[in-house]
Amino acid sequence: MTVPYFVSFRGRVLEDWVDANRHMNVAFYDHVFLSAEMAFFAELGIGEPYIERNGHGMFRVERHTRYERELLVDSAIEVRGWIAALDSRRVHHVHEIIDQQSARRAALTEIVSVNVDLGTRRSTPITDPAVRAALERHAAAYAAGAPVPGLGRRIDLT
């Protein structure tokens, strides 16, 4: 299955990201994934303007990461992201780091984020029409509920 994705990060592994084992430390995999996640949400209209306009924000409530291959200093990387499932409050999104030299996946993370009213600190439906439309468009592009590549399980948000 070919997954339609959004490229949310491109860069190279910096020397500061490498640990005593001479490969990228897991903390920096997480750093790259967080940067990509923020860019992905910005693409969907969920960023500072969304917070200011609606008083809502996205909270990460669950994350699973699989580290599959080493990345060394100066490795060219790209992060691809997509929505695997969506309901009125939650977004299940997936991101993978691709080693561009080998074109192989180095790591995969799947995340469940929930829309939160920042005044009440409680989950609330995503009602912003532009954001809702962007989320639905991205989710439809990937057939929501399909198995997550590499994890092989279906995600059911019901």
CA gap 108, 132 in Å, rounded: 25
- pLDDT per position in the chain (158 positions), as tens? 455 788 999 999 999 999 999 999 999 999 999 999 999 999 999 999 999 999 999 999 999 999 999 999 999 999 999 998 899 999 999 999 999 999 999 999 999 999 999 999 999 999 999 999 999 988 887 765 556 666 655 555 55
* Radius of gyration for the alpha carbons in the chain, expressed in angstroms and rounded: 16
Burial class (CB in 10 A: 0-12, 13-18, 19+), 48: exposed
Shortest CA distance to 32 belongs to which of 15, 47, 17? 17
Dihedral (CA of 33, 39, 43, 44) sign: positive
**What CATH number was assigned to the domain covering residues 6-141?**
3.10.129.10
pLDDT for 84 equals 87
The tokens for 25 are 């430390």
**CA dihedral for 9, 13, 15, 18, sign (positive or negative):** positive
Domain map (residue ranges) of the chain: 6-141
Alpha helix positions (H), 2-155: 26-43, 48-54, 129-141
Q: Are 145 and 1 in contact (CB under 8 A)?
A: no
pLDDT of the residue at 1: 46
